[in-house]
Chain A
Amino acid sequence: MADKQAQLEKLRQVIREHKDTPGPLMPVMQAAQNIFGYLPEDVQIEIAEGLGVTLSEVYGVATFYSQFTLEPKGEHVISVCMGTACYVKGAQAVLDKLADSLGIQPGGTTRDGKFTLLATRCLGACGLAPVLMVDDQVHGRVTPESVPAILAIYEG
């Protein structure tokens, strides 16, 4: 895949830039997450070899921070706020409805690669509780009943 080769070249460039700086692992992994959208196994090996650290270390960091994902994210990322205000206003029912409609668990991605469903902490829009975000679009006062209409916007 030519696309992947180009991405890989980009990663190698980043590795070269950071190799001799202190604490290069995090910035390189963040760059890799941006380039590939996730951290597949071969990318983690590339980072380990490129920086001369163990794969164990790379994998440990990748699984420690929630900013890194090991599986490709969907085209649209749905983040349901599970903060206190949203939770008491029924966010769990919204999350359940989404999981049910998409046929995935929170943290998962639909088989067609369209949606990734996430439960997140407070999004800071408590006045609109319960709130969810699709990519960078905020949807407020969501109910399980309004879920199909929201999904329809992005399904097209």
Chain B
Amino acid sequence: MSKMISLTIDGIKVEVEQGATVLDAARKANVRIPTLCFLEKINEIGACRMCVVETGARTLQAACVLPATQGMEVKTNTRRVRHARKTVLELILSNHDKKCLSCVRSQNCELQRLALELEVTNENAFAGERIEYMVDDVSPSIVRDNNKCILCRRCVSTCHKIQSVGVIGPVGRGFKTSIETPFKLPLSNTACIGCGQCIASCPVGALREKEESPMVWRMIHDPHKHVVVQTAPAVRAALGEEFGLLMGTNVTGKMVTALRRLGFDQVFDTDFAADLTIMEEAAELVNRIQNKGVLPMITSCSPGWVNYCETFYPEFIPNLSTCKSPHEMMGALIKSYYAEKTGIPTRNLAVVSVMPCTAKKIEADREQLSAMGVPDVDAVITTRELARMIKSNGIDFWNLPDEPFDSLMGESTGAAALFGATGGVMEAALRTAYEIITGETLETLEFDMVRGLEGVKEASISLGELNLRVAVAHGTDNAKKLLDSIKRGEKQYDFIEIMGCRGGCVDGGGQPFVSAEGRLRADPRKVRARALYRADAKMPLRKSHENPGVQRLYKEFLEKPNSRTAHHLLHTQYAPQKKYRHETGEGMAV
């Protein structure tokens, strides 16, 4: 055990391990110090000065980067400290657009909250020069509005350190500093993978999803359109938070009812397509193993990861499973199977996906994802956008009754629920692959070695005579580490699951916001995942191949996994993407 240090915070005696910061010590003493640029383990740079405290030193010190020392007497609320914090906040506000009324972050904005807490009475206390920035809304996924940016760099650290993408950073100096892409190009002209983790890390409204809800309203209000909606596994584990329910509350039934009341004609479950994905992916894996295909096979459900692979690791494209992601499979089936069943012409069908993800918005635009000559999916909205639609429609979410999904493609198993958490696709695939390969019934369904938040998880699993070497990575920086270890020849695997976001879809870039402080109290990656694992445990069927709807679909329409029809509708291909997407004139590097 490392050495303990004792100090006082506002007279409260507290002991912390050597190396802890004053902010850590204050938290231990239950003293709350306000923070703004601080994002635990990601952005600890002491830049915003919100957390300044008095320690007896000549100047005030930033608690988030100040190491606690023996005998230190910290005061967190002196007149001097309060004055400094308030002044700093007023200075930040002086170059902020202060358009809270129309801001998507209103009421969950960390800047707004601090202004109230620090009793800012005049938001124009320093009414000096203000820089007006162009809003970058070219990307199908992410909108950047520097008029609201407070230069905390949380997005920059996330993009560089957590995702290893690094396409935004501070540009210029002093008052003219702004967070920009290289050469100030639109985000869509960079290697941005659209994961939206920058949005999730932003304390204010400077980053948000490109909204498609206006388009969805138009579809709903169009009498000629038959609008089918589907919801991803992770949405139900988080949507309730937008309505004040506790994190980790599963709101499947209320969500389905709300979608019907919004006016969607049919409510399907992406979980159904997740089960189908397992059927296709397990068959593909077995085929690759038996016929000496390219291994390791890597999952392709996460479009953030797929973009990352195509851009930064194109050499692994042959390893990507050819399976479309579940909502794209569902879209293709709605426009073929469902159209055939109902007699509704494809052109009158619109498919809306509710996703925990902003990269799905880019994915839906891929030309190769249009099996029936029209896009498989017409619009993608995030969990947050759905919540805003529900609110704007005057729906009393708390008091909604529970309703089930529509039947044709609404059934699912516990395996599908797992898709929302890191390791979930792997676990679901193993449950099915085990039974396909061994022909025996799997007794213990939980594969604990692929659960949890370890950045890279690995396991060796025996499926009869076959020893399957598997790995799971989440967050593209962890993916990078894993792929580099394979490239160096240090590691060998047969099957890999990669998710673009840490923790998997439950903490995707489209999920309800959790503040930096909220994340210290409850980690959404753990708490939301728990809701999914609980849902799995409660399901009567927990293996994808037992899904009766999926079985019916194969019998009536697809024949068998990886059949010709299945390939046409449910599989896709990939192509390398350029890392630098602008005219270089002489085009030397690229």
Contact = CB atoms under 8 A, between A and B. Distances in A.
A43 to B, nearest CB: 9
Contacts of A40: 585
A8 interface: yes
B171 A59 contact: yes
Contacts of B590: 45
Contacts, number: 58
11 contacts: A1-B586, A41-B582, A41-B584, A54-B167, A56-B167, A56-B169, A56-B181, A57-B169, A60-B170, A64-B170, A64-B173
Contact residues on A (Cβ < 8 Å of other chain), bracket: 20 to 34
Interface string B158-178: 001000001111111100000
B171 A54 contact: no
Interface of A: 1, 4, 8, 40-42, 44-46, 49, 54-60, 63-65
Contacts of B584: 41-42, 45
A4 B586 contact: yes
Top-9 shortest CB links A-B:
A54-B166, A56-B169, A45-B589, A59-B182, A55-B182, A42-B584, A60-B169, A63-B171, A42-B588
A56 B585 CA distance: 19
Contacts of A55: 166-167, 182, 580
Contacts of B166: 54-57
B588 A56 contact: no
Contacts of A63: 171-173
Q: Which of B167, B168, B171, B182 has the most CB of A within 10 A?
A: B182
Given A45-B584, A45-B590, A46-B589, A64 B172 contact: yes
A41 B168 contact: no
Interface of B: 156, 160, 166-173, 180-183, 580, 582, 584-590
Contacts of B173: 63-65
Contacts of B171: 59-60, 63-64
Nearest to A55: B182
Given A46-B589, A55-B182, A59-B182, 9 more contacts: A42-B584, A45-B580, A56-B167, A56-B181, A57-B169, A58-B182, A60-B169, A63-B171, A64-B171
B183 A41 contact: yes
Contacts of A65: 173
A4 B166 CA distance: 28
Contacts of B170: 60, 64
Contacts of A8: 588
A2 B589 CA distance: 16
A49 B585 CA distance: 18
A46 B588 contact: yes
A40 B173 CA distance: 19
Contacts of A64: 170-173
